[in-house]
Amino acid sequence: MNPMISVALPKGRLGESVYKIFDEIGYGCPEIMEEGRKLIFENAENRVSYFWAKPSDVAIYVEHGAADIGVAGLDILLEQQPDVFELLDLGLGKCRMAVAGKKDALRDTDRTLRVATKFPNIAKSYYAEQSREIEIIKLNGSIELAPIVKLSDVIVDIVETGKTLKENDLEVLETVCDISARLIVNKAAFRFKTEQIEQMCGKLRERIAKG
């Protein structure tokens, strides 16, 4: 019998869309969409199990082999640099990483720039490339607040619709990179379950190409 493949999905809308694709290509596990607090679901017939994890924790589960496969945003992969294989761009959860702030926030280039962010590593490497001196202020959420209350000059954060910035009189000043959800795989699992993982990945690729 084929080995089971365990999949870590990010809790929330993105994870639910990804599960629907898995379901369509033959890896369904109907119990997963039922209301409740259960965390792990298994369909022995389809040789697959799923669990929901906090989006920023998915790569940790996969790197440590607690899940064979996971779905994580490129933002999280760039920030955490987990030791995993990235097999596929799922083309979902599209947004961008941007520098944002008040219109003239970047005018004074002599001063150390104060950057508030949930993504200190991304911000550091972005400004290192520009040889710009910065001070990182690490926050955990509601990042847009920082330039409004003058905690920082700018933020480095995810922009999806741009609504949060607009409603707070902030704007995108620079784009750091485009973001989308990626399929990641544990390195050892890929070695031991190559055939099953490649088959799953091939079906996903085909389904995504159809749009």
Nearer to ligand PRP, 60 or 165 (CB): 165
What is the strand order of the sheet 113-117 is part of?
134-138, 113-117, 154-159, 95-101, 171-179
- Region binding ligand PRP by CB under 6 A among candidate stretches 3-11, 135-143, 183-191, 203-211: 135-143
Q: From the CB of 150, what's the least distance to ligand PRP, in Å? A: 18
Tell me the three state secondary structure of residue 95: strand
Residue from 141, 150, 191, 210 binding ligand PRP (CB under 6 A): 141
Residue from 135, 160, 198, 206 binding ligand PRP (CB under 6 A): 160
Asked whether position 159 contacts ligand PRP by CB under 6 A, the answer is: yes
Residues across the chain: 211
Nearest 5°: the CA angle 137, 12, 208 is 105
Asked whether position 107 contacts ligand PRP by CB under 6 A, the answer is: no
State how far the Cα of 107 lies from the Cα of 184, in Å rounded to an integer. Answer: 40
Q: From the CB of 73, what's the least distance to ligand PRP, in Å? A: 10
- Region binding ligand PRP by CB under 6 A among candidate stretches 9-17, 127-135, 156-164, 184-192: 156-164
Nearer to ligand PRP, 172 or 201 (CB): 172
As given in the structure block, the two tokens for residue 36 are 């409740």
Query: Which residues, at least 6 apart from 133, have a Cβ–Cβ distance to it below 8 Å?
Result: 112, 113, 127
Where along the sequence are the contacts to ligand PRP (CB under 6 A)? 141-144, 157-164
